[in-house]
Amino acid sequence: MSISALNSYLPKPCAPSRPCARPPRATPTKLFSQPPTLASLSDPHVLRLAETLEDSIASSSCPPPLQKLRDISSQSLLTTPWPSRKDEPFRFTDTSFIRNSEVHPVTLAPTQNLDALSGLADSISPNIAIIDGYLVESLSNLSELPDGVFVGRLSDLNSKGLMDKVSKYVSNFQGDLFWSLNGVGAPDVVLVYVPEGCKVEKPLHLRFVSMNRSYKGSKSLPISNPRVLVLVEKGGDIGIVEEYVGGDGDDRCYWTNSVMEVVLSDGAKVSHSYIQTQSLGAAHVKWTSVCQVGSFAPTS
């Protein structure tokens, strides 16, 4: 069941009743057009936000693993409330800034004002630029990657065997509200694949840049939902540097809601580093999930 479908079951405001010359007959009141079990467990604020994210995603067809991710995430959000300080994982985290903001997704890949970022691809290491959740190839440089390594959009993948692997392991772990919001709102998945026995000598640099920002006090909060899936086959080895940039030292507002899933086969290795130089007014939510499996199925 989609978020928008469930919203149709939530109670709507009733129109004022007209004056009646005689007392109306008592009739049962139905608040839902279908059994209200799910709706009664749902958080209306979460559903509105999830529906906004759903509506922001392009309606064109997407790869099966991406559709699977969106379906699993939508289903999870039907019964996931907004967290409070009473929830142990958020006991020391105040999320009221996000909840009280007017959240709106960045809906299009950036095409303007990229000149200031032209130096991002000038690096001694292979690197990609993810701007407001969208991979921008013109600001990326992957020329030094070994043969067999794939780094790019899931929607650009043309290997059925590898696509089947991704479908098996995408969203293999179930996180919290923000994990699922990312799954609903991610425009695509950035896939990093390292084949068996391959060692990537130089670390892969993932730069996440927030360009859509609002002014402090406006209550507007642009959100991006970058999602990365890393699959490393038996004996593979890669270093990954995640860097988040967005107005270092200023107080412009935005929300980066990021997820990285790492799946390792036997003897595989990933070295991971994390850098943040973000705005003082930014909200940053980050999930990193690491899963080890015995071996991947063969690709075709």
pLDDT digits (tens, 9 = 90+) for 145-202: 999 999 999 999 999 999 999 999 987 777 899 999 999 999 999 999 999 999 999 9
The three-state (H, E, C) secondary structure of the chain, written as one string:
CCHHHHHCCCCCCCCCCCCCCCCCCCCCCCCCCCCCHHHHHCCHHHHHHHHHHHHHCCCCCCCHHHHHHHHHHHHHHCCCCCCCCCCHHHCCCCCHHHHCCEEEECCCCCCCCCHHHHHHHCCCCCEEEEECCEEEEEEEECCCCCCCCEEEEHHHCCCHHHHHHHHHHCCCCCCCHHHHHHHHHCCCCEEEEECCCCECCCCEEEEEECCCCECCCCCEEEEECCEEEEEECCCCEEEEEEEEEECCCCCCECEEEEEEEEEECCCCEEEEEEEEEECCCCEEEEEEEEEECCCCCCCC
pLDDT in tens, 208-239: 999 888 988 899 999 999 999 999 999 999 99
CA angle, 163 then 227 then 241, to 5°: 105
Model-level pTM?
0.84
